[in-house]
Structure 1
Amino acid sequence: MSDLFVPAAEQAAAESAQSPLHVAMVAPPWFELPPRGYGGTEAVVAALVDGLVDRGHQVTLVASGSHRTKATRFHRVYDVPPTERLGDPAPEVVAAAEAARVLADADVDLVHDHTLAGPLLARGRRQPTVVTTHGPVAGSDGDYYERLGASVDVVAISASQRRLNPALNWVGTVHNAIDVRSFPYRADKDDYVLWLGRFSPQKAPDLAIEAARAAGRRIVLAGKLNEEPERRYFSERVAPLLGPDAEYVGEADATLKRELLAGAQALVFPIQWEEPFGMVMIEAMATGTPVVATRRGSVPEIVVDGATGVVVDDVAELPAAIHRATELDPAAARRHTLEHFDIPVMAAGYERVYRMLVEGTRSIRDITALGSAAEAAG
């Protein structure tokens, strides 16, 4: 795998020895950092803030609610994150306006914006604006980022995501990460497999139940179920399949999520869309739990087939894959996650992007090299 994703020890040491940067980090307004439950983007932003500070940089964080990060400075958008308004565009616009106000005269080297509306303000900014695409980059979403043009420098979270829209102003690819050591490692597993996520056809919990049942395994399901489309999908497609061997335990907070992941014989991840990065996969592997997944999106970049999980081309192969996964070495999954998806790896990757932009060394050759590295890892 390329050193774009895993910097060599001597390279990382050389980078951290350079003069520190001052980064303005703009988070989505919906959840506090880090989130106590659901909130994958917010979890990544919180981890990146801490990783950058650990590397000696200053970080000014613009976010909602209280925060439990190592940010040097903190500016609050909302006292209480407007989680119940998720999907309403107004909080996004308010967050962008507040970030613009706070950063108007701020002495920062660059702005790293993780919001939807915030990048619209990049054209009037003297510093570079880095945008991480945490969601889809094709269709209407891709059209938005294409229209932003060279006003923003776009970072992909996987090579598969980047391939979906090569027209964007890509500057690099940096995989998401977690604090691996905050996840308990267990070599001894309990008598269930796990599905964890948001209830939707794209995440396919119904397929996970059917695969586990065909494999003769008990399955536990935990996930977000508070928006109307989620409730409707759960009622129509998931609830009829529940029973003694398929149990829904509600939405898991950080503590319960770790307990469930660590105890599971396998995480069943039968995604039905080109998901750019499934955080739950690296969370599972961190606990020593292998991942059984369909070959969609970033899955082949994250899971080492036959070592840290089993990747299949068809859902009909899932039951046999569950059996195979339970025979894998849990230590291999933990080791893989530490080497490739731990916070220091992600922070070093973003630092390389930041320095390239701040120093003005971006060139066609740089972009090609970064793209080639991403492709090699895909």
Structure 2
Amino acid sequence: MLEPLRIAIVASSRHPIAQPFAGGLEAHVWHLTRSLTLAGHGVTLFAGAGSDLPVESDRLRGELFEPSDAARSDVSMPPLEVLRDHHSYLSLMLSFSRNPDDFDVIHNHSLHHLPVAMGPAVDTPMVTTLHTPPTPWLESALALAPETRCVAVSRHTARAWSHVLGPIPVVHNGVELNRWPLGDGGDDLVWFGRFVPEKGAHLAIEAARIAGRRLRLAGPVSDETYFRDRVAPFLGDRVRYEGHLHQHQLARLLGSCGAALVTPVWDEPYGLVVAESLACGTPVAGFARGGIPEIVGDTAGVLVAGGDVDALAEAAERAFSFDRREVRRRAETACSDIAMIDRYTDIYAELVADRNRRCVRSSAQALSA
């Protein structure tokens, strides 16, 4: 059995790991941090101010850096938020480098390039979870540090990075199933997520209209223009916006609906909303894009070609006939936090063992010199 580890989790410098979540990445880090803590590990979370987890935490202190007037007036001055992100991760990685014995493992979930670029200068073993397809700065960092230990959240995401990293392991994001109880279902459809164009809430609204079903919406309004133009005009008795909900409220909403619409207009790297829906026994009707088919499988929903709203409406009706207990069982086998933690702790153990072997070799070489 793995001894308790001191684990540093690096998250976003902009968003707290707190409810209601800013997005799926924040929700995932929340679940992971809780699960590792419940498993007996000592977890320190590095994230935006205001994180609400019962673990030791440290704010990424980007907001404390204020450039001088001379620096602000320089033609190269980037947007202040970008500079603060840079300062946050630079200071954090320098701290890791200067204090290599503070942690046994660093688990990087940030989307910033600096943790990867500076990883080789840090003695503490580090693993980076890739939550997105390739982005320019992160791809550049990984191209220069190909020995970086990485995992992907889906086979789809692993393939997207294969031109840089070759084959890498996959660890599907998991959810605490007891926090997403099996619900009784109902007659309504549900859509939840960030209100941004790429999540496609407007397509869910159209599919629900074609299907003749009421639709309940939930999530943060991340793009106010999009919400105002593509969502708000359709709100009423048939389409209701329930707000930006805390986890227990969202679980109740999911469990009370007959099917969940999942409508990305891009290739989702994973699709945490799918895992959460299945955990509540709510089958999915959605677009077969990115990593979504890996989660849904053959027993938990109906997937159609991306953008085909008519087919989505038909899929929604078919989804209502699924056995909710079978849908829940799919979550138990494919999306549980237990499976995720087991896989990650195996990776942590490998990293710690590799470091110990390096230390033994270094000591032997020093004695023989």
Normalized against structure 1, the TM-score is what?
A: 0.80
Q: Partner amino acid for 1:330?
A: R
1:356 aligns with 2:350: yes
Of 303, 308, 329 in structure 1, the residue corresponding to residue 300 of structure 2 is 308
For the 8 Å contact 2:300–2:326, the answer to whether it is kept is yes
Residues 211-230 of structure 1 mapped to structure 2, 5 A cutoff: 211-226=207-222, 230=223
SS of equivalent residue, structure 1 residue 360: helix
Show the counterpart of 1:89: 82
**Structure with bigger gyration radius:** 2
| Displacement of 1:158 | 0.3
1:74 aligns with 2:74: no
Which segment is superposed worse, 32-41 or 127-136? 32-41
Write out per-residue CA displacement over residues 338-371 of structure 1, whole angstroms, 9 at most, x where no aligned residue.
Answer: 222122211111112222333339xxxxxxxxxx
Show the counterpart of 1:46: 30
Show the counterpart of 1:263: 256
Show the counterpart of 1:168: 164
1:112 aligns with 2:110: no
- In structure 2, the CA distance between the partners of 1:253 and 1:70, relative to structure 1 (3 Å rule), is closer
Show the counterpart of 1:182: 179
Matches of 2:84 and 2:173 in 1, distance apart? Answer: 25
| Displacement of 1:37 | 3.1
Which segment is superposed worse, 159-168 or 147-156? 147-156
- In structure 2, the CA distance between the partners of 1:96 and 1:191, relative to structure 1 (3 Å rule), is same
1:140 aligns with 2:124: no
- In structure 2, the CA distance between the partners of 1:167 and 1:35, relative to structure 1 (3 Å rule), is farther
Write out per-residue CA displacement over residues 64-106 of structure 1, whole angstroms, 9 at most, x where no aligned residue.
Answer: 33444354x433335999xxxx993233223313423543214
Matches of 2:255 and 2:139 in 1, distance apart? Answer: 40
Q: Partner amino acid for 1:164?
A: A
Write out per-residue CA displacement over residues 11-41 of structure 1, whole angstroms, 9 at most, x where no aligned residue.
Answer: xxxxxx1344332211212233343332322
Matches of 2:150 and 2:186 in 1, distance apart? Answer: 42
Q: Partner amino acid for 2:60?
A: V
Show the counterpart of 1:159: 155
Matches of 2:93 and 2:343 in 1, distance apart? Answer: 26
Normalized against structure 2, the TM-score is what?
A: 0.82
Which segment is superposed worse, 327-336 or 349-358? 349-358
Which segment is superposed worse, 294-303 or 142-151? 142-151
| Displacement of 1:149 | 2.5
Q: Which runs of 5+ in 2 are unaligned?
A: 65-78, 356-369
Percentage of pairs with the same residue? 32
Q: Partner amino acid for 2:320?
A: T
Q: Partner amino acid for 2:120?
A: R
Which segment is superposed worse, 163-172 or 341-350? 163-172
For the 8 Å contact 1:176–1:341, the answer to whether it is kept is yes
Matches of 2:182 and 2:217 in 1, distance apart? Answer: 20
SS of equivalent residue, structure 1 residue 172: coil
Q: Which runs of 5+ in 1 are unaligned?
A: 1-16, 362-378
Of 196, 202, 206 in structure 1, the residue corresponding to residue 202 of structure 2 is 206
Q: Partner amino acid for 2:6?
A: H
Q: Partner amino acid for 1:75?
A: D
SS of equivalent residue, structure 1 residue 150: coil
1:191 aligns with 2:174: no
Matches of 2:204 and 2:281 in 1, distance apart? Answer: 20
Matches of 1:150 and 1:273 in 2, distance apart? Answer: 27
| Displacement of 1:315 | 3.2
1:278 aligns with 2:271: yes
Of 121, 124, 129 in structure 2, the residue corresponding to residue 124 of structure 1 is 121
For the 8 Å contact 2:117–2:142, the answer to whether it is kept is no
Write out per-residue CA displacement over residues 212-239 of structure 1, whole angstroms, 9 at most, x where no aligned residue.
Answer: 111110111222214xxx2222233223
Residues 291-302 of structure 1 mapped to structure 2, 5 A cutoff: 291-302=284-295
Q: Partner amino acid for 2:108?
A: D
| Displacement of 1:47 | 2.1
For the 8 Å contact 1:75–1:102, the answer to whether it is kept is no
- In structure 2, the CA distance between the partners of 1:338 and 1:39, relative to structure 1 (3 Å rule), is same
Of 228, 232, 235 in structure 2, the residue corresponding to residue 239 of structure 1 is 232
Of 315, 329, 340 in structure 2, the residue corresponding to residue 335 of structure 1 is 329
Matches of 1:238 and 1:43 in 2, distance apart? Answer: 24
Matches of 1:97 and 1:78 in 2, distance apart? Answer: 10
SS of equivalent residue, structure 1 residue 88: helix
| Displacement of 1:175 | 0.6
| Displacement of 1:135 | 2.0
- In structure 2, the CA distance between the partners of 1:343 and 1:43, relative to structure 1 (3 Å rule), is same
Write out per-residue CA displacement over residues 126-155 of structure 1, whole angstroms, 9 at most, x where no aligned residue.
Answer: 233211112222x52563343342252111
